[in-house]
Amino acid sequence: MQVESHDYSVGFITPQSVMKSVVQISCLDDATGQFGYDGQGIIYAQVDNYLYIATAKHCLPRSNTKLLEITTIDKKKVDFIDYRIVYNPNDVDAGMIEVRLQNNSDENYYAATNSMIVSNKILIGDTAIVESIFNSRNIVTKNAIITSGTTGSFSPYKTEPGDSGSPVIGRYGVIGLVSGSYVGNNTSYFVPIEEFEILYVYFRHAN
């Protein structure tokens, strides 16, 4: 398989521009009473006083009553009133949080724009850049080759705890979010970004 090399600084979405929309998701551990780091996500959109955060389903709390912390890349805690969660109805590891900000909040968060998020642009054999930000390794950028568009897999890349929800960036923009790794090999998988669009549409029609 011939692999084409791409310069992501010319004519393509840069990892640095996507990185600004990445957040850390932490849920309160009932046993310890501490917030544990559960994963990452991207701010998919901001509409008025609402943030929409896309992430892997397994990073989300199991109820809307569980205490949740969301931290931006510049280490700011998102100040919100409450939140709702929704899971993708298909059997995929995709979820979204709708966060209602404080009524007097004039904070504008850096949301991934339409030009950053691309559907149906998964190119087999193309180079993908995986940005993992909030973990013990600090900011980690890894290159991988997309091996499947149906299952959203790429290699060589082995996810580590805290990678889930990291953006996978193809030549045209964010094509998905990291979900996990296959047991016993160096191939990982991601959820295509269009699976999150379903959830955003649901929230916008429900409001």
Count CA within 13 A, CB hemisphere, residue 190: 36
Residue 8 pLDDT level (bands cut at 50, 70, 90): very low
Contact 69, 40 (CB under 8 A): no
In this structure, the number of other CB atoms found within 10 A of the CB of residue 117 comes to: 27
Nearest to 179 by CA among 161, 191, 193: 191
pLDDT of residue 174: 84
In tens, the pLDDT along 99-147 reads 999 876 677 888 886 557 766 666 677 777 777 776 554 555 667 777 7
* Mean pLDDT score, 35-48: 84
What token pair was written down for 79?
Answer: 């100040």
In tens, the pLDDT along 77-100 reads 898 998 999 888 778 889 999 999
pLDDT of residue 96: 93
In tens, the pLDDT along 136-194 reads 545 556 677 777 666 677 776 677 777 888 888 877 778 888 887 766 667 788 888 88
pLDDT of residue 191: 87
In this structure, the number of other CB atoms found within 10 A of the CB of residue 136 comes to: 9
First and final C-alpha spacing in the chain: 47
In tens, the pLDDT along 11-29 reads 455 667 788 888 988 887 7
Residue 36 pLDDT level (bands cut at 50, 70, 90): low
pTM of the model as a whole: 0.81
